[in-house]
Chain A
Amino acid sequence: MLDHYPYYVAAWIFLCGLYGIVRSRHLVHTVISLAILQTSTYVLLLAIGFRKGGYAPIFADISPGVVTVDPVVQALMLTDVVVEVTVIALLLAMVVKAYEQGGTTSPDDLRYMRG
């Protein structure tokens, strides 16, 4: 049960993010919810790479035979962070522009195209 705990946490965070976006009434809130949703992938990746009693995968001061956690998922996570920062920055810039244009930060008032 406890072995699977991080996976439940990841699923829970993902759903929290989704719920936040669906029910959002403020564009910044929407963006932050998206960032939270994204965090679930960090938890998932780190849980997958975890080894019990594993060292940090820096082989400068430990011998190659020692058990370490998986460095690949950590690299994936770093890439993931970069991707997230780009998207969140872009989205926040759009929110700022939308506020300048329309004077509103509510997704309900931003529905110019519909039907």
Chain B
Amino acid sequence: MLSPALFVAVPLTVAAMVAAVRDLLPRWITDLVAILTAAFNFVIAGLWTLHAIHQTQVYWFGNWFPRGHMAVGIGFVMDGLGCGLASLASLLTLLALIFSWKYVESGQRHYHPLMLVFMAAMCGFSVTGDIFNLFVFFELMSTAGFALCGMKTREPAPLAGAFNFAVTNTIAAFMVLTGIALLYSATGALNLAQMGLLLAGRHDRLVLAALVFITTGFLVKAATVPFHFWLPDAHAVSPTPVCVLFSGLMVELGLFGAMRVYATVFQGCVATTHLHWIFVAFGGFSALWGAMMCFAEHHLKRLLAFSTVSHTGLMTLAFGLWSKDALTGLFIYLTAHALVKSGLFFTSGVVLHRFRTISEPALFGRGKGLKWTGLVWFLGGLGLTAAPGFSLEMGETMVTSHAHWAEAIFILAGALTGAAVLRVGLRVFVGMGDRGPSDRSAEVDEMPETSEAEKRINWSLFTPGLLCIGGSIALTFWDRFMDAAWSSSMRFMDFRSYALAVYGHAVPLAMLAAPHEDEKLAMALACLRVVLAVSIALWAVLHLKLPRTLRWPSFLEGSMRPVRQLQSGHPGDYVAWLTLGVAVFGAAAFWLGL
């Protein structure tokens, strides 16, 4: 079995080598090397996932095994979920690199090394068992992300987006570091398992403060409202393959970081059932806010970015429910969402390539000729609503199986985000209705990412999107996926088995069959969501043909100006919101947690 250190070490090494010799090599060789590295990572991470589902695997660098309870070395603790996320990160990077074959004109010299570094950081972040390494990988991921986001340095908008992204996320990283320092002062340890053991039963202000700093730091990356302002700005200006990695996984990894620390360090000490409601509240609010903003948006990438805010909010809500069902549902939802959202971003990239614009009014009716691209887009829209037959629906049913009230938020968020995507599809690919309202952000156009001469849509542009959407449907036919998620989630929540694994007493886990929920009810709710989404989309598109009294949904689409002005594009405003968010979270945590 190949060492798990490889899936961090190999991409970093290749990135350094590619960066050193990229000027001497023709473009196709750098492309090929990067694609092969990502494929290699996918295979290694995939193989380790198959192992890790049955038994948590621990790897100590340089064979520095723990002495007694003292973890002297730095280790990777590979459980099913962590390894699964590393595989997903490698897969998405692979698809993104295939998409960018002969693509991305501006800044292409830095593109491949940065993508590989980004992938290595995501993989390391998912499996590390050391809290300081969690911070280091978090920062590595962020820094590569800032550079990738601002890569089109010939335009001013990407620089602004990347600047806001960098400032907010760096503050977040320092909050995480402050929290880590507080925990270190309380325990003298940096290993997650050792910290959890040392803090067991301790319930005081210091640990609670550490929880606030670490969790809010990670939630900035997870774009929870009011920490989310950087995300639409960054997504709107990033190159398409980078958007795929940002929305597909990086944002969700922020949430995963919070969950990992929560499950290992805080679960045995400050965590109380009341504390979970903070996550439910923040998540539910983000879900609805993001969905509303998503529907009001007319810049394709920004629209998808707001839907990411909404869906990550739903995942945060699921985290707050903190039960086996909710967690299993969360991870199925996360995987499925990563695939659907990547598929939609890839498709928006195809549209940008073909028509050289990304704004909905400008694209009106121009996509009529692109039947297959349109089909993928519509399928993606249905996927976002969690329509029957998509794996998002599986995840959602699991999350809400013991919390039926949460279904209302899922229905609203899913229907609105899906309706926004379907509305764009109807206008662009069918040419139905009218151009619809425009807005300021839709008029900021993007420089095309491909050269002018080539307008044909070749296989490397089209296939990744199709594969992603197809994959999210195919997952529903794979029974073992559900069982694996169920077994791994139980493992993830159970700190005792985590600590045992770290100290070398891993217990093999029999694969447990996931419970089957009430399928008739779930199917009925899924159909309800689809009907809602389609009717809202049609309503918005055809609103001028309706009698005046029935035109009110266009309010959602056109006149949300006061709310949208909060998204001011000013780094100072975003940091002020961030500070307010931390204060609210902290106050709630101290009120409910002590």
Are B564's CB and A115's CB within 8 A? yes
Are B156's CB and A30's CB within 8 A? no
Complex formed: what's the CA distance from A44 to B176 in Å? 13
Are B155's CB and A101's CB within 8 A? yes
Are B569's CB and A111's CB within 8 A? yes
**Residue in contact with A80 in the complex, picked from B159, B177, B185, B561, CB distance below 8 Å:** B177
Are B569's CB and A110's CB within 8 A? yes
Complex formed: what's the CA distance from A97 to B139 in Å? 23
- Assuming A22-B572, A114-B568, A115-B564, is B156 touching A40 (CB within 8 A)? no
B567: CB under 8 A from chain A?
yes
Contacts of A48 in B (CB 8 A): 181, 184-185
**Residue in contact with B575 in the complex, picked from A22, A27, A40, A86, CB distance below 8 Å:** A22
A-B contacts counted at CB < 8 A amount to: 132
Are B440's CB and A34's CB within 8 A? no
Contact with A along B531-569 (1 / 0, CB 8 A): 000000000000000000000000000000100110111
Complex formed: what's the CA distance from A97 to B166 in Å? 15
Looking at the assembled complex, report how far the CB atom of B424 sits from the nearest CB atom of chain A, in whole angstroms. 17
Complex formed: what's the CA distance from A23 to B573 in Å? 9
Are A108's CB and B570's CB within 8 A? yes
Complex formed: what's the CA distance from A107 to B178 in Å? 27
Are B174's CB and A115's CB within 8 A? no
B136: CB under 8 A from chain A?
yes
In this complex, the interface size class of chain B, counting residues with CB under 8 Å from chain A, is 35 or more
**Residue in contact with B146 in the complex, picked from A72, A79, A90, CB distance below 8 Å:** A90
**Residue in contact with A114 in the complex, picked from B159, B163, B190, B567, CB distance below 8 Å:** B567
Are B162's CB and A115's CB within 8 A? no
Can you name 13 A-B pairs with beta carbons within 8 Å?
A21-B571, A30-B571, A44-B181, A72-B190, A80-B177, A83-B136, A90-B146, A94-B166, A98-B163, A107-B571, A111-B568, A114-B565, A115-B440
* Nearest 7 interchain pairs by C-beta: A111-B569, A114-B569, A112-B157, A101-B156, A48-B185, A115-B564, A110-B160
Additional pairs, 17, CB under 8 Å, beyond known A22-B579, A76-B181, A111-B570: A21-B171, A27-B163, A30-B571, A40-B178, A41-B178, A44-B178, A83-B173, A87-B146, A98-B156, A102-B156, A107-B572, A110-B160, A112-B156, A113-B157, A113-B302, A115-B564, A115-B567
Could you list which residues of chain A lie within 8 angstroms of chain B, going by C-beta atoms? 14, 18, 21-24, 27, 30, 34, 37-38, 40-41, 44-45, 48, 72-73, 76, 79-80, 83, 86-87, 90-91, 94-95, 97-98, 101-102, 107-108, 110-115
